[in-house]
Amino acid sequence: MQGRKGTEEIIIHCAATRPEQDIDAREIDRWHRQKGWLQIGYHFVIKRDGSIEIGRDVDDVGAHARGHNSYSVGVCMIGGLNEDGNPEGVYTDAQWVMLRILVDGLKTRYPDAKVIGHNEISDKACPSFDVGEWNGRGN
């Protein structure tokens, strides 16, 4: 794998799954390999129970945000869709807690990185919530 140039952004994503779909990094890895990618595109995955799984090595270039991969870390939360399949940030309390812990840890390691949602750099709803509002507009 190729190393990232630096870390300017921490990009929050969702798996675009319904609440009852309790998938993991292995499943996302399978999806991404079916697309012809080398492996899972995200660096971290936060499961419905709040556990954090490692995807790509954090020092490797990800495959999660076109045009931003060489200088960003990708975090994917399982969920992002409501029961009807529409974008909605219906994450578990455990996921919210672990997202805060993970992002705070990443900000300690990469203090100048901006924390943004995938929807801020693409025309997708992902991660189905306002990351700036969640993060207190602080970066």
Burial class (CB within 10 angstroms; exposed 0-12, middle 13-18, buried 19+) of 93: exposed
Token couple for 70: 């060489």
Active site residues: 13, 42, 118, 124, 126
Q: With contact defined as beta carbons under 8 Å apart, do 11 and 73 qualify?
A: yes
Q: Give 137: exposed, middle or buried? Use CB within 10 Å, 0-12, 13-18, 19+.
A: exposed
Residues 38, 69 contacting (CB under 8 angstroms): no
Residue 3: strand pairing partners: 60
Please give the structure tokens belonging to residue 130.
């306002």
